[in-house]
Amino acid sequence: MSTAPTPYLSVQDLKVHFPTADGIVKATDGLSFDLERGKTLGIVGESGSGKSVSSSTILGLHRGSSAIVSGHILLDGVDLLELSNEDMRKMRGRDVSMIFQDPLSAMHPYYTVGNQLIEAYRVHNQVTKKEARTRAIEMLDRVGISNPDKRISDYPHQFSGGMRQRAMIAMGLINDPGLLIADEPTTALDVTVQAQILDLLQDLQREFNSAVMIITHDLGVVAEMADDVLVMYAGRAVEHGPCKEILTHPEMPYTWGLLSSVPDVTGDTDARLVPIPGSPPSLLNPPTGCAFHPRCLHRDKVPGDLCRTELPPLVAGTRGGAHLKRCHLSDPDSIYETEVLPEIAPDLVDDILADSAADSAADNAADNAEGAR
Amino acid sequence: MLAYVIRRVFVGVAMLLAMSLVTFTLFFASPVDPAQFACGKNCSPVQREQARKALGYDKSTIEQWSSFVKGVAVGRQFPADPELRKAAPENVVDCDAPCFGYSTYSIKTVNEMVGEAMPVTFSIALAAVILWIFFGVLIGVLAAVTKGSFLDRGIVGTSLFLYAFPSFFIGTFLLTYISIKWDLYPLPSYTSIAEGGVGAWASNLLLPAVTLAMLYMAGYVRMTRAFVLESQAEDYVRTARAKGLATRKVLFKHALRAALTPLVTMAGLDFASVLGGAIITESIFNFNGLGKLAVSANTNYDLPVLIGIVLIAGAFVITANIIVDILYAFIDPRVRVG
């Protein structure tokens, strides 16, 4: 593990534009990030910030639609955007797979869970139905479904929400893909089930050593799961870096807003929940300059009309390192300390620190185990 | 499931009873005196009253209806009047249950007449339903997968165009030009399988079936297109693509499977309504089916035949409804278990 890891997934200047009757919708506009195997990237943003579009483009699901895609998506050195439709189809489910937000609608209601898992395995493996069935039962067992040999014949509606999502995860991992994209995997689930599903994902990631992209609007999920965080706004990255760094020293007012709008469930009940004012911009006609400026509480602190007129570049944060931000504010740290931090649920930051400490310990343990092999 | 079916059958029988009562009431609400009609132009009042008595029209509507219901249940004898039966025992006709009555115009029981017409209508309906479902779904899927293209617009436009033509136009056109003037296809006349085998039966059915199918096909093309487009936008179809399934498999195994469910419902009910008689198509091609029988029963004020056809047609629709509901449970596992 001493050699510098080459990124397993490298997204470079990805643009996904949709021509519509009213103009071009820039769903993703110049997105770049790297992700190594065994690592997790959390992509955070409100609905309509382009996070789901970006991930389905990685999977090649934009093909056949009107989307105009440019840039590079290198998976293990292969540019997915250059592949033929047939080659991309073969990658899907085998090298990259995806689990979706609502497992009830994401599974076909007319086929049994087993049928759908077996199908997923047999697309990429020349095996008999019986062998595929054995594999499917094994995967259902692995994701914690009891009596998998019986439940495999059930229909999705006979499963509970959590079990359905487990089955989706089993289906996503049945071919041992190098990259797993989880699009809001816990949003449609009960809070108690959410934690179980996240734990399961983490366990499986260690076991399969896959790269995981987790798309969410829930910073709690990010704090628990992610090594790196990418905050998206209006199709662009506005803050990107190591999870701990971003969550403890965020430098972009949008990230501040996301942190302030996490409810404080353990603290005193008087604490206010501070929502981000306004709503996400239209991607058809995004605001000029920094797309966040109409909703930004701190734009007056930037001299001149810079926020409105000029798009800030994605540059290194004040503390350096891998932390990147897209903001004109010259002294974000002091504003964060004085104005933003008091509004944030205090336990959130503590949790983040505790979780990431635990994670890095676990990662080290996993690395050691890897080295010993 | 069984209890459900039994309940549905009970409701269906009650509905048929109500339908027959309404038909009786409507028939006698007509300004035409059926006894006068049966008796003819040069008919004295005495003769007219004799005819009325012979046909059983002298009794109250409710009495006539009860003897009709009784006939269906246990059978009856004609003429209805016991005195007439005694006067001419050689003319008495036994009509076994379920007896729908004795025609006031032809010298046949309704059961015989319907029995002769039913195979004709059933053949046309069957051939038409096969044609319109096969081509309707095929063309509809084609339009859905090429959505927005020239082909798709052509299909949608053409189906709308054809839909706008009434079946008397299409039928007359096929008969006059294809069969008679251009001599492209022999003039169809109904041949039963017993008479001419399956080949002759099917080839004679082609033109009437096409005429009837045209009426429904345009609708099925558009419905299939809409249902397939709708199911293609479903999350589970995205999942199927995300698994790496080939486009064809995504379309046929995942998208079309879901789209077929509402189509099966529609097809079942449409087939049942066609079984009640395709009046225009049968009249154009001179096929003696239920539709033509219904027209002649109407013009002849032949109440028993009318009632018989109304009930048969109603029974088909009710039965089809029950069958479609049962079929649903087989198609959609959520209905089966839940």
A307 burial via Cβ count (<10 Å: 0-12, 13-18, 19+): buried
- pLDDT at A373 (0 to 100): 45
What pTM does this model have? 0.79
For residues A241-245, average pLDDT: 90
The model's pLDDT over A307-356, given as tens digits with 9 standing for 90+, comes to 888 889 888 888 878 899 999 888 888 888 888 777 776 666 666 656 55
- Of A292, A248, A244, nearest in space to A45 by CA: A292
B124 burial via Cβ count (<10 Å: 0-12, 13-18, 19+): buried
pLDDT band at B84 (very low <50, low <70, confident <90, very high): confident
Give this complex's ipTM. Answer: 0.83
* Peptide bond between residue B79 and the one before it cis (omega within 30 degrees of 0): yes
Min Cα distance B210 → chain A (Å) is 33
Mean pLDDT across chain B: 87
- pLDDT at A4 (0 to 100): 53
Question: In which element (H, E) is residue B209 found?
Answer: helix B193-232
Q: Which residues of A touch B241 (CB under 8 A)?
A: 61, 92
Name the residue with higher pLDDT: A191 or B236.
B236
Are the CB atoms for A60 and A93 separated by under 8 Å?
Answer: no
Tell me the HSE value of B26 on the side-chain side, using a 13 A CA sphere. Answer: 12
Q: Which residues pair with A215 in a beta bridge?
A: A43, A183
Q: Which residues pair with B93 in a beta bridge?
A: B78
- Of B246, B251, B269, nearest in space to B320 by CA: B269
Here the contacts of A272-280 (C-beta below 8 Å, separation 24 or greater) are A272/A343, A274/A343, A276/A46, A280/A46, A280/A47, A280/A48, A280/A49, A280/A233, A280/A234
- pLDDT at A189 (0 to 100): 82
Assess whether pLDDT exceeds 50 at residue A371: no
Distance, in Å, from the CA atom of B96 to the CA atom of A329, rounded to the nearest integer, reads 97
B 215-244 residues inside an 8 A Cβ radius of A: 234-236, 238-244
Assess whether pLDDT exceeds 80 at residue B337: no
- pLDDT at A318 (0 to 100): 82
The DSSP call for residue A31 is E
The model's pLDDT over B118-166, given as tens digits with 9 standing for 90+, comes to 999 999 999 999 999 999 999 999 999 888 889 999 999 998 888 888 8
- pLDDT at A368 (0 to 100): 54
For residues B38-43, average pLDDT: 82
Assess whether pLDDT exceeds 70 at residue A303: yes
Query: In this complex, do A158 and B246 lie within 8 Å of one another by their Cβ atoms?
Result: no
Distance, in Å, from the CA atom of A3 to the CA atom of A192, rounded to the nearest integer, reads 40
Q: 3-state class of B197 per DSSP?
A: helix
Interface test with B, best of A110, A115, A157, A184 (most B CBs within 10 A): A110
Distance, in Å, from the CA atom of B177 to the CA atom of A335, rounded to the nearest integer, reads 86
* Buried b / exposed e along B320-329 (16+ C-beta atoms within 10 A): bbbebeebbe
Are the CB atoms for A111 and A193 separated by under 8 Å?
Answer: no
Query: In this complex, do A90 and B244 lie within 8 Å of one another by their Cβ atoms?
Result: yes
Q: Is B106 left (phi over 0), alpha (psi -120 to 50) or beta?
A: beta
Token readout for B322 is 């029950």
For residues B47-74, average pLDDT: 86
Give the best-scoring range by mean pLDDT among A1-10, A349-358, B118-127, B269-278. Answer: B118-127
- pLDDT at A86 (0 to 100): 92
pLDDT band at A2 (very low <50, low <70, confident <90, very high): very low
Distance, in Å, from the CA atom of A66 to the CA atom of A20, rounded to the nearest integer, reads 9
Q: Which residues of B touch A109 (CB under 8 A)?
A: 236, 258, 332-334
- pLDDT at A264 (0 to 100): 62
For residues A257-273, average pLDDT: 68
* Peptide bond between residue A253 and the one before it cis (omega within 30 degrees of 0): no
Q: Would you report the helix, strand and coil content of chain B in percent, each value rounded to 5?
A: 80, 0, 20
For residues A289-311, average pLDDT: 86
The beta-carbon neighbor of B337 closest among A90, A92, A158 is: A158
CA torsion A42-A47-A52-A53 (nearest 10°) is -130
Instruction: Count other C-beta atoms under 10 Å from residue A273's C-beta.
Output: 11
pLDDT band at A304 (very low <50, low <70, confident <90, very high): confident
Helix axes B290-299, B303-331, angle to 10 degrees: 150
HEC per residue, A78-96: EEHHHCCHHHHHHHECCCE
- Tokens 């049928």 belong to which residue? A115
- How do beta strands A68-75 and A40-44 pair? unpaired
Assess whether pLDDT exceeds 70 at residue A3: no
Q: Which residues of A touch B242 (CB under 8 A)?
A: 59, 61, 92-93, 97-98, 100
Interface of A with B (CB under 8 A): 56, 59, 61, 64, 89-94, 97-98, 100, 102, 105-110, 112, 116, 119-120, 123-124, 155, 157-158, 168, 171
- pLDDT at A1 (0 to 100): 43
For residues B247-270, average pLDDT: 89
Q: 3-state class of A240 per DSSP?
A: strand
- Of all residues in chain B, the one with the smallest CA distance to A96 is B242
Residues 6+ away with beta carbon under 8 Å from A346: A264, A267
Distance, in Å, from the CA atom of A372 to the CA atom of A46, rounded to the nearest integer, reads 42
The model's pLDDT over A166-190, given as tens digits with 9 standing for 90+, comes to 999 999 999 999 999 999 888 878 8
C-alpha dist (Å) from residue B9 to A219, A254, B98, B315, B321? 58, 64, 17, 10, 10
pLDDT band at B197 (very low <50, low <70, confident <90, very high): confident
- Tokens 């534009």 belong to which residue? A17
